A and B are shown apart, each in its own frame.
Chain A
Amino acid sequence: DAKTTQPTSMDCAEGRAANLPCNHSTISGNEYVYWYRQIHSQGPQYIIHGLKNNETNEMASLIITEDRKSSTLILPHATLRDTAVYYCIVRSLSGNTPLVFGKGTRLSVIA
């Protein structure tokens, strides 16, 4: 699986959009970009994933660059409850080896 690089931490004002970047310059053609988050003391929660098109669901939007070497997770109107560690993971659908969680980005939403 391709390696990902994320900033260690970010702040965002409540009500503003939170834009979390992820670099994955060695991503291969069959690998998807997944985002999870982990709110303090809870198990991680799946957010969204995509291959090359931008994706949106009720939680977030995922923007993947045309060369697929980086992506941005967007929380359109961040709330205090969005304070969490966000993990970007690159993964193919084939094979049995499970997800590998790095250290992620600690997002603090500030009132």
Chain B
Amino acid sequence: NAGVTQTPKFRILKIGQSMTLQCAQDMNHNYMYWYRQDPGMGLKLIYYSVGAGITDKGEVPNGYNVSRSTTEDFPLRLELAAPSQTSVYFCASSRQGARLNEQFFGPGTRLTVL
């Protein structure tokens, strides 16, 4: 299994540009999450999904959109990039039930907005 994969690894955007961060998992996990991590800080939850077609906001959803059309994929969309969105973005997944809180994380996407 590849686990959780994220693309791209790095990206530089200009203010106002849009992009989609891709996330995929091959573990058949119901739950998927997007976090951001600013330098020297802990992770903050942006959005999460409990299954295909179901998404919900986390702690810091403003400026982002998500969709979950399949179990495997959970893309994160930035519509109008701002310098405040410069961060490292991590996608994660977990199965429901007793192992709900054992999250598997991807390698991250480092985004810089100039």
**A interface residue numbers (CB < 8 A to B):** 32, 34, 36, 41-46, 49, 87, 89, 91, 93, 96, 98-104
Contact = CB atoms under 8 A, between A and B. Distances in A.
A93 B99 CA distance: 8
Contact of A46 (B42, B97, B102): B102
Main secondary structure of the interface of A (DSSP, over half): loop
A79 to B, nearest CB: 21
B16 interface: no
Contact of A96 (B42, B44, B50, B108): B50
Contacts of B50: 96
Contacts of B80: none
A42 B59 CA distance: 21
Nearest to B32: A98
Interface in B58-105: 58-59, 88, 90, 92, 97-98, 100-105
Interface string B12-42: 0000000000000000000101010000011
B8 interface: no
B100 to A, nearest CB: 6
Interface of B: 4, 31, 33, 35, 41-45, 48, 50, 56, 58-59, 88, 90, 92, 97-98, 100-108
Contact of A98 (B58, B97, B104, B107): B58
Contacts of B42: 87, 101-104
B23 to A, nearest CB: 11
- Nearest first, the 3 A-B pairs at minimum CB distance are A43-B105, A101-B43, A101-B42
